[in-house]
Amino acid sequence: MPINYNVPEYAVVRDPDRCIACRVCERQCANEVHSYDPELNKMRSDETKCVNCHRCVALCPTHALKIVKNPDTFRINGLWDNETISDIYRQADTGGALLSSMGNPKKYPIYWDKILINASQVTNPSIDPLREPMETLTFLGKHPHTIERGENGEIKTDNLPPQLKLNVPIMFSAMSYGAISYNAHESLARAARELGTYYNTGEGGLHEDFYKYGPNTIVQVASGRFGVHKDYLNAGAAIEIKIGQGAKPGIGGHLTGAKIVGDISRTRMIPEGTEAISPAPHHDIYSIEDLRQLVYSLKEATDYKKPVIVKIAAVHNVAAIASGIARSGADIIAIDGFRGGTGAAPKRIRDNVGIPIELALAAVDERLRQEKIRNSVSIVAGGGIRNSADVLKAIALGADAVYIGTAALIALGCHLCRTCQTGRCNWGIATQRPDLVKRLNPDVGCGRLVNLVSAWQHEIMEMMGGMGINSIESLRGNRLMLRGVGLNEKELEILGIKHAGE
Amino acid sequence: MKRVYVNEKWCLACHLCEYNCAFANSGQKDMAKALKNVKINPMVRLEDNGKISFAVSCRHCTDPICVKSCITGALTNDGGIIRVNKDKCVGCLTCILVCPYGAVVPAPDGSVIQKCELCTNNASGEPACVKGCPNGAIVFEER
Amino acid sequence: MQKEGDVRIPSGCAISGIFSRSGKRISGESIVRSIAPMHDRSNGLGGGFAAYGIYPKQRGLYAFHVFYDSVRAKAECEKIITSNFDLSAAEKIPTRRIPEITDEPAIWRYFGLPFKKALEDAALDEREFVARFVMKVNTQVRGAYVFSSGKNMGVFKAVGFPEDVGRFYRLDEYEGYCWTAHGRYPTNTPGWWGGAHPFALLDYSVVHNGEISSYDANRRFIEMFGYKCTLLTDTEVITYIIDFLNRKKHLSLEEAAEVIAAPFWSEIGRMGEKDRAKYTYLRNMFSSLLITGPFSILLGYTGGMMALNDRLKLRSMVVGERGGMVYVASEECAIREVEPSLDRLWSPKGGEPVIITLNKGVEA
Amino acid sequence: MKYVIIGNSIAAAGCIEGIRSVDKAGDITVISDEPYHVYSRPLISYLICGKTDEERMKYRPGSFYKDNGVRALLGVKALKVDYKSKAVELDKGAPVSFDKLLFATGSRPFVPPMEGLESVKEKFTFMKLDDAKALMAAINKESRVLIIGAGLIGLKCAEGIYGRVKSITVVDMAGRILPSILDEDGSAMMEKHIESKGVRFILKDSVAKFEGSTAKLKSGKTVGFDIVVVAVGVRPNTQLAESIGCKAGRGITIDTHSATSLKDVYAAGDCCECYDISGGVTRVLAILPNAYMQGETAGINMAGGEKTFDKAIPMNAIGFFGLHIITAGSYDGAAYVKEGGGVYKKLVAKDNLLKGYILIGDVLRAGIYTSLIREKTPLDTIDFELIKEHPQLMAFKKDVRAEKLGGVK
């Protein structure tokens, strides 16, 4: 047997005084880290298999378990750190590209944390959301350029292109059925309906059971075109063309044949066991004018009743691309920052391709205003939105609404162990194994998502009130409400904000 | 009346209900102290065939045959909650003979029986099996 | 020290307005008397007036009021004016030397109409042509600032307390059917003559008391439509918004008010179907023109005046009526000062516009 | 409404609670020749061995009669019932009139004629509290006890006095013990177990003659004794009911409403015979749960409510010297037997139904089997192979499980 050059990343620490050998850890670990030794009546662990998903820690009734970073280390080296070395060992073992999942975990600057929010003092009053109306209702979609009037002068209200109506400017971003479980999808769908917002099918099609959530569903059309047909397009409230995603700009997707079983194969409309490969580009979109054709063929297919979203990854010339999309007939542009999550991505791409959403968003909003077309398209920002303050800052930078994916999954129990690609998600989210899928009870999941977004909405209202703003549209693009700290001139210029103190 | 209901669809076979029950009825404050190196003898028992699993405990029948069959009057219907008076019980096991759910079990020493009293007889407050269920497979509600 | 335009300057203020429905022309002396009692609402860093119907002889001509910091600025600016406008008069605006008003710039006014040729070349309607001319001067000619550009109306403003500014500009020598006044309380600037209120574009003039929290959302939106906010003041952006909605989008002033101080969604939800559709449409169409935060504004325009509060009414504003005369002010005292006995005095609801126009047939 | 109950044991208590669940006001009179508060007769053996006491033997709390507004005539014998004038004559005090009458007269020990029995001083039966008290007073460490009858009562008596006497000998005509509830193998297993404790069995034999302190058996064997307990069986007390014309077989005939053949007259408990749905025959089912349920049924119907009890089957839960037995139903049918490791299990199926079972040693969750019999669950609707191994709900179909665990029963 060849040498295993790597050391386990984590150590399982079990407090012998607390462990009652109830074996919950053993039963709950799909990675089979824990095992029971009947002779000694003791639990044992195989740390090489531990991915630190914390399922065992969370369920241990006596809190006997801790997962800690394995203190064992290679010789300390500023350039060649443990991960770098381990990656090389792994590739030397396998000869393959490294696969990982969820968002870019590297230490790139997080601009959200270098932006501060304003509040009213003396010269104008802050507003108490508990006493005064505080509005977060948001519409997404195009706006006509002229007001039309009927013969007796009344304003015509029927010339408005299709819109999305959000009670709170937070939507659940695209996660396909297949990448995540049936129960995860049901949780998202039900939460979206309860919250008066939208969830997104991702590229895996729409399970027949979920058509009933159509009014709160965004159906996605991606390069693989899985599960796309006329009823599917018409089932949702909007259609999203996925050009790219923040976690892996420029490359496609790959759902292994192992996951293409039963309902998933039926929903994706591909035979069981076949590899579901989404090409890197849409092979009918090699240029912006092709995009325009797809946008309009989708509008034709849906009788111009559904707004069309075009989702792109935040890349270097995102502003120019966005302006092209705005002129392609799209109603909404979704920009996905490089911290956006995924069920599986080549590690190097996840960690090195794309740009931060904060800069991309600011650049796009400003560019569209310069081109005087900001009002004819809505902007949705996603990829690394972690809390209500991020949402508020995104809107003040110019977003109409945000997409949250990772945050939603965390609410459902995800512990960011970043091994979705193995299909052994102990939290029943990124898996299709029935025994694991059932661990996510949609009653519980939906409730937690509703709690999360409601809590964020409440916090957003509090912060808006502090600024003396009582309606979210007065915050949109209101960059004077933001100040930077520890940012250089260039960053401030791109973000279009002043430095704190100015 | 609020009762314990089980939905096997969400049961993870983690057996936590059994341990939480045993702990709640141990009278101890610390679970490790209560259950370490102890073979638990809970009022709620999991049926688990590796695929399907579900917890079974007293259903607190509205027309409880165990109470009617008890030869000593140790089992009583206390406003819907079926209780056992262990001082009266002689361990004849007639209740085990008649309970259609198999929800009555002998106490560890076998001289009397024990059964779920919805944690009204311990410090747990609401049923410990419900409180500790990680997936909403056991609920305590009006139906 | 930065001045307006370099930095956004919030300010509290006093406003007052007098309007004669019958078109009877009133001396400027009374508006000065009206603003004076609210002395404490301003701090001497800005006062000003807008008057309508004061240039009856030049009724058909645009009256440009301009500040010059330097001779060079004047020469540069007049070069642009004379090349675009057929001027019938160019004169210093008469002022009175008083110790309270100092450091005044050169203050000139010009009466004229755009050259036909210039209009045809620009392929613009006359008002748009004039508006762009004003933007051009104010953004491109350093030291020159056009602060009034309407017909048969004029803005008079300066750094100082409003009552002093009134005497300085000899307002007792003017007569108009509508007067608005403003006393300013900026919080972080010495004040600059151009930065004083009213702010005017064409015949729209706005005096405003408040500090809007939606400012940058409004500014960045309106700037997509050819406006340039050079002063970064509320008054400026509010004026542009009204000009945009009323002149460019052809909304009535009521409708404009329904955009600026839109009803809450909860109220809209309670409306009848037709209204609900209309208000939803307007809020959705012009969502970025909703103004939040405290404001009370007096909009003057040819033949009318509109008073409007923010939808929460976070600033005081009262309206009084006596016969054909209408008075609006931040405080009742300002009205009682000039008209002690009123037929009616009320405080308009937040977001509810009060629009006063000349009686039918009366020419502005 | 006036209710009269003759008898004061389990059926009477069931009747009282049944009446009160419908009629909170009517007069209830209980007549019993026993002077005691309602108690549980099966407990008398536990009383002797000290596992319970008179106080804890009370089947219902001391306030039972007061709480239920019952006039309890205890130590009073009902001599005669006048059905026409609807009155019960007593041995002391004025007659008690009734609108509805319940016979809960129970049964009496059957003592067969045995030569010389009359000469035996220390002879007892074993059914009532007084029997137990008398026996307790009589026995001592030196007593040699002869028990006639190896049925439930005889053996419970043996267990009760075990350790308090010098020796116990059990004689029975039958070839095996507990024949009424066990099959041959079960009997053998129990016999071995009880014998191992030191109880002596003499089977297929009977007393021919008592001579002083010696019993001569038919086989010629002799057994020395100081005390004799006769426990060969019981007879339902039907005389009073029959005297007014109630139909009766071996016990008083009742329907599923516990009503006798006479209007307004009901009967419940050991004095009755009823339909055994497992065996499909009418028989005396002298077991406590039946007594209560028949009594309750009678009470509810007497008070104008509607209740039927149509699930009567023989069933017993009993233990001897720490070894538990649970049995139910009848044993006529195809048997599945599992034996070994101190455990005996027999399931009997017929016509796609479980008819009866015997469990010795491992009795956990036996009620699941019992319910299959009582509910007449078709075996092809469950996983019978699975449930043979252990009683379990897993053997039911998904929707049935959902109903059992998610519904209210």
Which residue out of C11, C184, C220 would a mutagenesis test of the A interface target, given it has the greatest number of A Cβ atoms within 10 Å? C220
Q: Are A318 and A170 members of one domain? A: yes
Number of domain units in chain B? 1
Q: What is the pLDDT of residue A253?
A: 85
- Contacting residues of B for D292, CB less than 8 Å apart: 68-69
- State mean pLDDT over A211-215: 98
CATH number at residue B10: 3.30.70.20
CA distances from residue A83 to A247, A324, C9 in whole angstroms, order as listed: 20, 40, 52
3-state secondary structure C263-303: CCHHHHHHCCHHHHHHHHHHHHHCHHHCCCCCEEEEEEECC
pLDDT at C271 over 80: yes
Q: What is the pLDDT of residue A145?
A: 86
CATH number at residue A348: 3.20.20.70
- Contacting residues of C for A163, CB less than 8 Å apart: 284
Name the residue of chain B whose CA is nearest to D394's CA. Answer: B47
Domain D322-406: give its CATH superfamily. FAD/NAD-linked reductase, C-terminal dimerisation domain (3.30.390.30)
Look at B20 and A443 and tell me if their CB atoms are within 8 Å: no
Name the residue of chain B whose CA is nearest to D64's CA. Answer: B73
Rounded Cα distance, D13 and B67, in Å: 13
Structural domain includes residue A37? yes
Distance (Å) from the alpha carbon of C208 to chain A's nearest alpha carbon: 14
- State mean pLDDT over A100-123: 94
Task: Show which of residues 294-353 on chain D sit within 8 Å of chain B, judged by CB atoms.
Answer: 296, 315-319, 322, 324, 326, 328
- State mean pLDDT over A383-400: 98
Q: Which chains touch A (3 or more CB pairs under 8 A)?
A: B, C
Q: Are strands A308-313 and A332-336 parallel, antiparallel or unpaired?
A: parallel
Q: What is the pLDDT of residue C6?
A: 73
> What pLDDT digit, counting tens, does each position of C128-150 carry?
999 999 999 999 999 999 999 99
Q: What is the pLDDT of residue C10?
A: 63
How many A-C residue pairs are in contact by the CB < 8 A criterion? Answer: 110
- State mean pLDDT over A322-338: 97
**Fold equal for D2-40+58-107+236-302 and D117-230:** yes
Higher pLDDT, C361 or C218: C218
Distance (Å) from the alpha carbon of A469 to chain C's nearest alpha carbon: 6
- Contacting residues of B for A59, CB less than 8 Å apart: 14, 16, 134
Rounded Cα distance, D375 and B138, in Å: 27
Is the Cβ–Cβ distance between D373 and D356 less than 8 Å?
yes
Three-state secondary-structure class, residue C4: strand
CA contacts within 13 A on the Cβ side of A192: 33
Residue D34, both tokens: 């026993």
Positive/negative CA dihedral, C230, C236, C237, C243: negative
* Domain D117-230 = CATH 3.10.129.10: no
How much helix, strand and coil, in percent to the nearest 5, is found in chain A?
35, 15, 50
Indicate the length of chain C as a whole number: 364
Name the residue of chain B whose CA is nearest to A438's CA. Answer: B10
Three-state secondary-structure class, residue C163: helix
Distance (Å) from the alpha carbon of A169 to chain C's nearest alpha carbon: 14
Is the Cβ–Cβ distance between D265 and D83 less than 8 Å?
yes
Q: What is the DSSP letter of B51?
A: S
Backbone dihedral angles phi then psi of residue D289, each to the nearest 5 degrees: -55, -40
Look at C12 and A146 and tell me if their CB atoms are within 8 Å: no
Residue D276, both tokens: 């055994």
Distance (Å) from the alpha carbon of B29 to chain D's nearest alpha carbon: 30
- Could you list the active site residues of C? 13
Structural domain includes residue A132? no
Distance (Å) from the alpha carbon of B59 to chain A's nearest alpha carbon: 23
Q: Are A70 and A176 members of one domain? A: no
pLDDT at A123 over 90: no
Residue C255, both tokens: 């409708």
Q: What is the pLDDT of residue C189?
A: 58
Structural domain includes residue A384? yes
Of A151-155, B35-39, C310-314, D355-359, which one has max mean pLDDT? Answer: D355-359
CA contacts within 13 A on the Cβ side of D21: 18
Q: Are A85 and A186 members of one domain? A: no
Decide if B85 touches D, using CB distance below 8 A.
no
Range of the domain at B14: 2-142
* A28: nearest CB among B10, B14, B23: B14
Name the residue of chain B whose CA is nearest to A42's CA. Answer: B37
**Structural fold of domain C11-357:** Glutamine Phosphoribosylpyrophosphate, subunit 1, domain 1 (3.60.20)
Range of the domain at A28: 10-96
pLDDT at C117 over 90: yes
Is the Cβ–Cβ distance between D162 and D49 less than 8 Å?
yes
Look at D370 and B97 and tell me if their CB atoms are within 8 Å: yes
Question: Confidence class of residue A6 from pLDDT cuts 50, 70 and 90?
Answer: confident
Q: For chains D and B, tell me whether 3 or more CB atom pairs sit within 8 A of each other.
A: yes
Rounded Cα distance, A407 and A429, in Å: 13
* Interface residue ranges in chain A relative to chain C, Cβ cutoff 8 Å: 120, 123-125, 127, 132-133, 135, 137, 139, 143-144, 146-147, 154-155, 157, 160, 163, 369, 372, 374-375, 467-471, 473-481
Burial (CB count <10 Å: 0-12, 13-18, 19+), residue D160: buried
Three-state secondary-structure class, residue A287: coil
CA contacts within 13 A on the Cβ side of A167: 16
Number of domain units in chain A? 2
Question: Which amino acid belongs to residue D280?
Answer: G
- Contacting residues of B for D296, CB less than 8 Å apart: 68
Within 8 A by CB and 6+ apart from D210, the residues are D114, D115, D116, D117, D119, D120, D216, D228
> What pLDDT digit, counting tens, does each position of C189-240 carry?
566 898 889 999 999 999 999 889 999 999 999 999 999 998 888 999 999 9
Rounded Cα distance, B23 and B12, in Å: 20
**Domain ranges within chain D, ordered by starting residue:** 2-40+58-107+236-302, 117-230, 322-406
Q: Are A266 and A399 members of one domain? A: yes
Mean pLDDT by 10-residue block, N- to C-terminus, for chain D (409 residues)?
97 98 97 96 95 95 97 96 96 95 97 93 95 96 96 96 96 95 96 96 96 94 96 96 96 97 97 95 95 98 97 96 96 95 96 97 97 97 96 97 87
Question: Confidence class of residue A2 from pLDDT cuts 50, 70 and 90?
Answer: confident
Name the residue of chain B whose CA is nearest to A17's CA. Answer: B32
Q: What is the pLDDT of residue A195?
A: 98
Look at A22 and B38 and tell me if their CB atoms are within 8 Å: no
Q: What is the DSSP letter of C65?
A: E
The domain D2-40+58-107+236-302 is placed in CATH, from the list 3.50.50.60, 3.40.50.1100, 3.30.950.10, 3.40.1160.10, at: 3.50.50.60
Rounded Cα distance, D119 and D123, in Å: 9
Mark C13-49 as b/e (b = at least 16 C-beta within 10 Å): bbbbbbbbbebebbebbbbbbbbbbbeebbbbbbbbb
pTM: 0.91
Q: What is the pLDDT of residue C188?
A: 55
Question: Which amino acid belongs to residue B87?
Answer: D
Look at B7 and D394 and tell me if their CB atoms are within 8 Å: no
Element (H, E) at A400: none
Structural domain includes residue A409? yes
